[in-house]
Structure 1
């Protein structure tokens, strides 16, 4: 994930004029040239930020001392989608939502695609921390308020008008059952299982065994709102300055999805669920939904209450990151393993307490 606020690496790359022979140095010089030619911006310092899954990210300080954030796209294959993502962010900002702002090129384009490096340039959001790792204290209400503003604004996006769709369709349980069966088979045929692989195999078996419970839980969902969403409303993409949301970043291209799922994606963050007692976490989640409804009064009680069930079901139906040792073993690390265990435990806890939590949430926000 990339954001416009992560702190630079401890040792910045040299100023662009410094000679170098590494690939990183060549990209720094190419980026400096692009900034001058495409944006009329003369960099005094360029620092690589060690974040980003699909982009190489840099903090820029120009000759006036102003800071910027650059995203360099690694391929040109999906630049139309990247442009649509930036356009969605700008659409949200035009409606008063706190976001990082894109800087247009000299040709007034949101993306620079003509030179050596395809890239976008953004305002730098200083002195912030992400919500990665969970929401606490006053951040619950602040996150709810800004997400409510965002969804209220995106309801007017021309790509799709809000509609009501069967809530049960939020997860494809049959596809999940097949995916877990194949995952279990793959683990069983591995020549040797490490500690995490052994745990992941047992967790996959446990998930497969309770998918019937998940299916029955989904069948009880009412019709829910489907509209254009942010697309990746996760903790790393919500930036806080103290307890206030400073910016929501890293939008995906505009596409319709379940409102309840995006609320749960942030509010049911596994670490938030497990770092507090269930009652304490539910208090925070309730504060988020109350603030959300104040900012987005058209949101229905069903969408807000059902977000708990939707978030729980989505986590239980997802094989990530249990599947990582089989499908992408090169990205597995201690943090990924810890996240897998926390996500599994949080989803099981939510499923066990779901009716009680839903009743308490409904009584409060009715």
Structure 2
């Protein structure tokens, strides 16, 4: 990471250009600097592109006083209303004591700068050493449980929607999943014998998924009614930031949208890498630590939601065609990391399905 200059700069400095970087990208970096000056009154000493970001181009900005900021440049103006609502949801949670990044308003007190060439939001830089993307271990299980419990307790009060109880079986659409796997299998079969190694594996995995969807449907049918409320919207590993073993910030909220609480708990807690990097018993110990800490932070949480999160997470992974479908639907994003994630996710989901009754009973006993 670049360090801030201690001397006044005659103009904002762009990050060093790697080999092959296009003039267009250099112009965008210059436009980021201009937007920071005009919209925020912030004079950058250094701007560094951060590779993360699926819908935005992200930059670490160091101003001339050495303070760090995080700039998100939106690639399209089509959904800025939803982006603004997402920032407002983050602010709502921060007002309730949840650890989040803080948005910086423009000179005109707007959450998103829209007048210039680049639509942008600017944030305080959340100090952290790692995200939860690499999986949860040790004390981080309980830390995430506490942070997520506080988050959901606050979101339960959001005026967009009051918490309700809905049939748990509706958390996944097994019929739609069955149709999608059938289509995917047909496409791969038609490409024989030209399938690549990952495509051949994806065809086999899709067949295995198709064969057990009946088991998934029966597992979902036994779920009780579960809580539906406003959620974070993208509770994945990269959006939970740690400083040592404490959660320093939860970031990248979606707009306030109701969903199953058990699913959002499982989305992070049943991360495939966390599942497979430990023995089943060790992973369940961590998962139990998370749910106990979650309940302490959110005492109104239902035990049904916490226990059912295991079943919901397992079913959601088995019903999802991602990333088995990537070579067909989004071949431009296929890389070694995506392929590895596909294999790990498939193996983790099958392991959870096989051990689900035993794990649920152990979790239920711990929560009594």
- TM-score by length of structure 2 reads 0.94
Distance 1:351 1:17, change over 3 A: closer
Cα distance in 2 for residues equivalent to 1:308 and 1:126:
31
User: Partner of 2:278 in structure 1?
Assistant: 276
C-alpha deviations, 1:93-134, integer Å up to 9, x for none? 110001100000111111111111100000001242100021
Equivalent of 1:245 in 240, 244, 247: 247
The 5 A counterparts of 1:287-326 are 287-326=289-328
Q: What secondary structure sits across from 2:247 in the alignment?
A: strand
Cα distance in 2 for residues equivalent to 1:57 and 1:231:
20
Q: What secondary structure sits across from 1:97 in the alignment?
A: coil
Cα distance in 1 for residues equivalent to 2:13 and 2:125:
23
C-alpha deviations, 1:18-52, integer Å up to 9, x for none? 79981111111111111111111111111111111
- TM-score by length of structure 1 reads 0.95
Could you tell me whether the CA contact under 8 Å between 2:177 and 2:320 is conserved in 1? Answer: yes
C-alpha deviations, 1:159-196, integer Å up to 9, x for none? 11000000000000000000000000010111511111
Distance 1:184 1:364, change over 3 A: same
Distance 1:222 1:17, change over 3 A: closer
Q: What secondary structure sits across from 1:313 in the alignment?
A: helix
Cα distance in 2 for residues equivalent to 1:87 and 1:187:
43
User: Partner of 1:210 in structure 2?
Assistant: 212
Paired residues, what number? 356
The 5 A counterparts of 1:5-20 are 16=12
User: Partner of 2:168 in structure 1?
Assistant: 167
Could you tell me whether the CA contact under 8 Å between 1:142 and 1:244 is conserved in 2? Answer: yes
Gaps of 5+ in 2: 4-9
Could you tell me whether the CA contact under 8 Å between 1:15 and 1:46 is conserved in 2? Answer: no
Gaps of 5+ in 1: 1-6
Distance 1:45 1:215, change over 3 A: same
User: Partner of 2:78 in structure 1?
Assistant: 77
C-alpha deviations, 1:43-98, integer Å up to 9, x for none? 11111111111111101111111110000001111100110111111111110001
Cα distance in 1 for residues equivalent to 2:333 and 2:296:
41
Distance 1:35 1:214, change over 3 A: same
Aligned-residue offset at 1:308? 0.2
